[in-house]
Structure 1
């Protein structure tokens, strides 16, 4: 298991830090749970990872209402899921997470995935984001199997 604790003090810092975190996620395929309170920076981290794989970071938004967004990079595909509005494991079936996981060139990043025991069992890692002492300061605790 790989464990790292990283800190950033700005949105731009989080975007830059995404490169280090993404390298820990490789090789694909990889399902990673993103944990953090609302506004912690989960989507900002995904923007940074999208930029790292060659996808347009400006296209990245929180998939709260659509549940799944897909971004194609130069070599990797990024799936970004937000399960905040879901409550039961059965609701996950229609999302096609198994197919996403089976793609050998895919990173699957799941916000609020810790609510679902079935995802926690399949996850190959987690990034926990917490607020620091300053308003824009964030701590990233990265665990990868």
Structure 2
């Protein structure tokens, strides 16, 4: 079982600060990470994803929530990024996701919105970053980031 080795708390007053926190997360990525985003509707999960992906050399304007397509793939300058949105999915065994296949690409970065919907994520060999976002609308955000090796 992996240990959570680091936890950070951030307060983001504006959407721009949430975006910049995504950029900061991206600066620590080396490939092989799974970033699990949780938070309510409008919390800023996709905005944070835009920050991460833009820092990796992909056009942030091409990043959108895959709520209906379930998965978007961004071919960044560093590695492939899989952007998964589980909002409409009933459980981790939903075959439409193809999550197990995505997780087999161990050099990629996988970003999962609504990650709390998955109880047993098969990622024992991957580094995990858990991001919990509290707040929505015009409220400031409290963002907790935990990492495991």
- Tell me the residue number matched to 1:41: 44
Aligned pair partner of 1:21 in 14, 18, 25: 25
- Tell me the residue number matched to 1:113: 115
Is 1:144–2:131 an aligned residue pair? no
Aligned pair partner of 2:80 in 59, 77, 81: 77
Query: Structure 1 segments of 4 or more deviating over 6 A?
Result: none
- Tell me the residue number matched to 2:56: 53
> TM-score, with normalisation over the residues of structure 1?
0.86
Q: Is the 8 A contact 1:114 1:120 kept in 2?
A: no
Compare the two structures and name the one with the higher helix fraction: 1
| Distance in 2 (alpha carbons) for counterparts of 1:60 and 1:95 | 18
- In the TM superposition, residue 142 of structure 1 has moved relative to its aligned partner by 0.3
5+ residue gaps, structure 1, are none
RMSD: 2.1
Secondary structure at 2:93's aligned position in 1?
A: helix
Change (3 A) 1:104 1:70: same
Q: How many residues align?
A: 142
5+ residue gaps, structure 2, are none
| Distance in 2 (alpha carbons) for counterparts of 1:37 and 1:50 | 21
> TM-score, with normalisation over the residues of structure 2?
0.84
